[in-house]
A and B are shown apart, each in its own frame.
Chain A
Amino acid sequence: AQKVTQAQTEISVVEKEDVTLDCVYETRDTTYYLFWYKQPPSGELVFLIRRNSFDEQNEISGRYSWNFQKSTSSFNFTITASQVVDSAVYFCALSEAKTGTASKLTFGTGTRLQVTL
């Protein structure tokens, strides 16, 4: 069975600090996908990134960066120079690779990030 663990329930930082959100996953599949979603206070779920299990390159998008390490089954998310607008619940998710039907995402329990002035 697939499992995603986000051990950090809540993190508080002061604006401009860097913060890393941890994600550890378990799967027996050799091919799988990892995702991060953001849920701001307004409640919608916003897709941030997808990685497949064969691509271990780190990715950077503006102040966001992701570190995928297959050896430790981790897919961590770092926000550099955090801003108040980054305050949200962040979810890590795992999907097995199934051809052409549906993606069944297994979500972690989320990490609530609070950025204050």
Chain B
Amino acid sequence: DTAVSQTPKYLVTQMGNDKSIKCEQNLGHDTMYWYKQDSKKFLKIMFSYNNKELIINETVPNRFSPKSPDKAHLNLHINSLELGDSAVYFCASSQEQAVGGSPLHFGNGTRLTVT
């Protein structure tokens, strides 16, 4: 059973379109994340939700809107796609403990290509 699953795996679309990436985790974790990996492999956090509440919101354009219908799901909707949005987007989850620092379990990534 896949622990953190994202769909789709590949997404090719044109500039100006709106698209969504879905993420589901079956680990029972309370916290979910979206990370972006650019063409140079640099990984940067975008958002984090804990029990459906937004906890981390980095300086991401407001064209990106995460939605968490329940603690097992965290979707990412992107409006008016731009060429610079092309990247691999990773969903992750963790079970936060009292002392923090829990390891993140990542999905397999969604490669978004904007043409």
Contact = CB atoms under 8 A, between A and B. Distances in A.
A binds B: yes
Interface of A: 31-33, 35, 37, 39, 42-47, 50, 52, 89, 91, 95-105, 107, 109-110
Contact of A110 (B41, B49, B50, B90): B41
Given A44-B108, A45-B106, A101-B50, A33 B100 contact: yes
Contacts of B109: 43-45
Contact of A101 (B41, B90, B96): B96
A103 B96 CA distance: 8
A105 B104 contact: yes
Contacts of B49: 102
B55 interface: yes
Interface of B: 31, 33, 40-45, 48-50, 55-56, 88, 90, 92, 94, 96-109, 111
Contact of A99 (B33, B42, B43, B100): B100
B56 A99 contact: no
A44 B88 CA distance: 10
A102 B40 contact: no
A45 B102 contact: no
Contacts of A98: 100-101
B74 to A, nearest CB: 12
Query: Quick one: which of A44, A97, A99, A102 has the most chain B CB within 10 A?
Result: A102
